Amino acid sequence: MLMDISSEMIHALLPIYMVAVLGTPVIAVGVIEGIAEATAAIVKVFSGALSDRLGNRKWLAAAGYGLAAVTKPVFPLAASLSWLVGARFVDRVGKGIRGAPRDALVADLTPPDLRGAAFGLRQTLDTVGGFVGPLLAILLMWATADDYRAVFWVAVLPAFGAFALIVLAVREPPRPDGLRQVRAPLSRAEVSLLPRAYWAVIAIATVFTLARFSEAFLVLRALDAGLPAALAPAVMVLMSVVYALSAYPAGVLSDRMDRRLLLTLGLVVLVAGDLALALAPGLAGVAAGVALWGLHMGLTQGILAAMVADTAPAELRGTAFGLLNLVTGAALLVASLLAGGLWDLVGPAGTFLAGAGFATLAIIAQAIPFLRQSAP
Measure the CA–CA gap between 118 and 309, rounded to whole angstroms: 11
pLDDT band at 34 (very low <50, low <70, confident <90, very high): low
- The sign one gets for the Cα dihedral 336, 294, 219, 70 is negative
Tens of pLDDT, residues 114-144: 888 988 888 888 888 877 888 888 889 888 8
Which pLDDT value is given to residue 349?
84
The helix/strand/coil state of 175 is: coil
What is the residue-averaged pLDDT of the chain?
Answer: 83
Residue 168: alpha-carbon gap to chain centroid: 25
pLDDT band at 178 (very low <50, low <70, confident <90, very high): low
The per-residue b/e assignment along 52-68, b for 16 or more CB within 10 angstroms, e otherwise, is bbeebbbebbbbbbbbb
Which residues are CB-neighbours of 169 under 8 A, at least 6 positions away? none
pLDDT band at 158 (very low <50, low <70, confident <90, very high): very high
- The sign one gets for the Cα dihedral 172, 164, 115, 368 is negative
- Least confident among 84-88, 188-192, 198-202, 229-233: 229-233
Residue 375 above 50 pLDDT?
no
Measure the CA–CA gap between 45 and 272, rounded to whole angstroms: 32
DSSP structure string for 73-135 = THHHH--SHHHHHHHHHHHHHHHHHHHHHHHHHHHHHS-GGGHHHHHHHHHHHHHHHHHHHHH
Q: What is the largest CA-CA distance in the chain?
A: 60
H or E element at residue 17 = none
Torsion of CA 209, 24, 32, 203, to 10 degrees: 10
Which pLDDT value is given to residue 292?
93
The per-residue b/e assignment along 308-325, b for 16 or more CB within 10 angstroms, e otherwise, is bbbbbbebbbbbbbbbbb
Residues 44/325, Cβ–Cβ less than 8 Å = yes
Residue 283 above 60 pLDDT?
yes
Measure the CA–CA gap between 112 and 312, rounded to whole angstroms: 12
Residue 308 identity: V
Neighbours of 226 (CB within 10 A): 9
Tens of pLDDT, residues 84-117: 778 888 888 888 888 888 888 888 888 888 888 9
Please name the fold of domain 2-170+194-373: Growth Hormone; Chain: A; (1.20.1250)
Tens of pLDDT, residues 43-55: 877 888 888 888 7
Average pLDDT for 190-208: 85
pLDDT band at 26 (very low <50, low <70, confident <90, very high): low
H or E element at residue 66 = helix 58-71
Residue 142: alpha-carbon gap to chain centroid: 28
Burial class, 294, CB count within 10 angstroms (exposed 0-12 / middle 13-18 / buried 19+):
buried
